[in-house]
Amino acid sequence: MTTPVPYEQAVNRELVTIDEIYPRLQNQSSALRESPGMGYRPLMDHESSLVRFIQGKPGTYKPHTDSVQAFLDQYEKPNQNSENVHECQDGPPPPGKVCYFNLDLLGNDCTWQNDYGFDEGKPCFVLKLNKIYGWIPQEHKSANEVPEPIRERFRPDHMPVYCEGEGPLDKENIGNVTYLPPEGFPLKYYPYLNQEGYRAPIVMVKFENITNGMVINVICRTYAKNIKHNRNDQLGSVLFSLLVD
């Protein structure tokens, strides 16, 4: 078990977003404005998507757990302490307000006290949709509109998430994946309008029994009617590799 690194001392490279360049895109027809990309943590190297560590050896996975903790620190309640932040227990926030994101939604297994599962070889990853100014997800009305593996977790007011191996061998060795919250990204956090105190919703995925000693290529997708999946652009999805030794 390791002690988390303070947010301000840790490497904190934000997930790629396009909200900063929105004024230059607002008059263009851009696929990026129609479907958001997805980012993930841990992310140690923007040039490589491989997350590798040795089960039971903290020195090999501490950089990964520090990366996750550094990102999640901005979601700690003191860091969401703003008059603009609303609890949103009964639905979307009042006009001009934003919803508070409660880390309790991510459960008790994927915490820094448990090394985010890395010590046991059951790593937890954070997923987050990249921010697009003004984008509003269009909800599916029924479970029949989403892929079969996620229908039991479907809720119309959420965007479900599904991770699988990219190829046949990856599918065979990825094992079971747990999603927290199970329903996916709540729609009440949209649209993003550069509001003060805004925090995008996140989903934690935990790889419960991935095969050790093999590089597993993982693709995670989220589903809304207006998210168009594109393997080359990774719209509405993200691809990374995982190796547990």
CATH code, domain with 237: 2.60.40.1660
Residue 76 covered by a domain: yes
For residues 96-105, average pLDDT:
94
The CA distance from 88 to 188, in Å, is 8
Q: In the predicted model, is pLDDT for residue 26 greater than 80?
A: no
Q: In the predicted model, is pLDDT for residue 231 greater than 80?
A: no
Note the pLDDT of residue 119.
Answer: 96
Percentage of the residues of the chain whose pLDDT score is greater than 90:
77
Residue 88 covered by a domain: yes
Q: How many domains, the chain?
A: 1
Q: Which domain holds residue 125?
A: 7-244
End-to-end Cα distance, the chain:
18
Q: How confident is the model at residue 114 (pLDDT cuts 50, 70, 90)?
A: very high
Residue 1 covered by a domain: no
At 44-96, the pLDDT tens digits run 877 789 999 999 999 999 999 999 999 999 999 999 999 999 999 888 999 98
Residue 97 covered by a domain: yes
Note the pLDDT of residue 33.
Answer: 58
Note the pLDDT of residue 18.
Answer: 38
Residue 101 covered by a domain: yes
Residue 64 covered by a domain: yes
Burial (CB count <10 Å: 0-12, 13-18, 19+), residue 93 = middle
Q: How far is CA 64 from the centre of its chain?
A: 15
Q: Is the pTM of this model over 0.95?
A: no
Q: In the predicted model, is pLDDT for residue 12 greater than 50?
A: no
Residue 56 covered by a domain: yes
Among the ranges given (24-28, 79-83, 172-176), the one the predictor scored with the smallest mean pLDDT: 24-28
At 148-162, the pLDDT tens digits run 999 999 999 999 999
Residue 2 covered by a domain: no
